[in-house]
Amino acid sequence: MFYSFSENLNRIRDLDNSLTILTYAMKKKLMITLTMVMLLCVKSFGQKSFKDGYIITLKKDTIYGKVKYRPDSKNYVSCLFKKGNDTKEYFPNEIYEFGYNNYKAYRSRIAVGEFAEYLVKGHTSLYKSREMFHLQKNDEIFDLKSEIMNVEVNRLIGKVSVRNNRWKGIVSYFISDCLTNASEIIVNLKYNEKDLTNLIIQYNKCKGSNYKEFKSNLKWNIIEYGAIVGIKKSYIKARNKSSKYSYIKDNSISPTFGLLISIKSPRISQKMSYQGELLFSKSSYSSNNTDYKYGNLKNYDSYIDLTTLSIPISFKYAFSKRPSSLYFQGGSNIDYHIKYNVVNYEDTVNNNNIVYSMNNNNDFEINKIQIGLLAGLGFHKSFNNFNAEISLRYIHQLNNLETPKKFRGQKNSFSINLILLKK
């Protein structure tokens, strides 16, 4: 088909105007969404959380009130206690114990200069402080440290790093008076909260003594499955501006859907979880560019279609432990391009208004695999039978989209997602 010089210019202007309007509208919507998320963050951080609890004075008097709900790292240092309208901060040298009703408790005089969290209270008690675990049997308190030590083997080899397992000997000493298979238990024992808690419970049962397991209402591990749907805005950034393909700049707005799995350990941390996803999407990019060289008008049209299977793997950190909370998400993303199609049209209009057309299909190959980084914010809400989330995330790809490197394309994306997880 032949067009006059003026008709070609009009076609180009109309397409550029349409792209400009679409880009402006998407940027405006994105800014509104980001603003709303940031306002929610500010509101969340501004709220204070106190839960029913108590403190026990050095004279062993119990006072009930409300205790500030804070991360363990802060509770190891001090306790914020509220009685009526008065709030006071207590340090380990000022009180014997503090805790939340039917949940956690912390004791002084176990770890030097800080509070230690109760894990098991009984004939033999187990505590956790900032850097180690502690065992208490009657009036004896032993620190369980798992340290890396530098040991010199000989002059030829020099020093090597080995883990100090002295803590296993201490545990063996504590339990050998009742558990006959202590040696076998110690061999397989791991230095973590779950293994040590289960062992001390087993030992207290063996002794026939009463014990209290803290956080027993929380599971060690929870695996949830769900579905995810969303809208993704992706764009191809051409980093080689000298290439004729530098005009590939259009955005693609497409739906995404897939499945996901969430893994968390509430007993260890109620704020952290890991998430893996399998997402399917189709993206289409179309752009137009003009160039005037040597008296000729060149018009480039480009179309790229991608069918992609994405595998995001991320770490999530909630800003609070409440049923409704904001969270941060970070991790990696792998894009596997199942199918692709690349079409390039090049029209040349000379001074005599004669148009020469050239069709370059698959002028370059799309890399099958792209690896990138993921970051985002989300809002989590827990219901009776399921959990719901809304997330806003950004994915930045690290390697080139195409081979050979015509324009060094980089495909990045923003997305808004709705997630439903079955409890």
> Domain residues of the chain, as ranges?
5-38+219-422
Enumerate residue ranges in the chain where pLDDT < 50.
1-3, 5-6, 8-9, 12-13, 15-17, 19-24, 27, 31, 34-35, 38, 41-47
Query: Would you call the peptide bond into 266 cis, given omega within 30 degrees of 0 as the criterion?
Result: no
pLDDT computed for residue 158 by the predictor: 58
217, 253 Cβ separation under 8 angstroms = no
pLDDT computed for residue 12 by the predictor: 45
122, 209 Cβ separation under 8 angstroms = yes
Question: What's the pTM?
Answer: 0.72
Give the Cα separation of 117 and 132 in Å (integer). Answer: 11
Distances from the Cα of 120 to the Cα of 19, 213, 215, 228, angstroms: 64, 5, 9, 39
How is residue 386 written in tokens? Answer: 């399921």
Q: 68-89 pLDDT, tens per residue?
A: 988 888 999 999 999 999 999 9
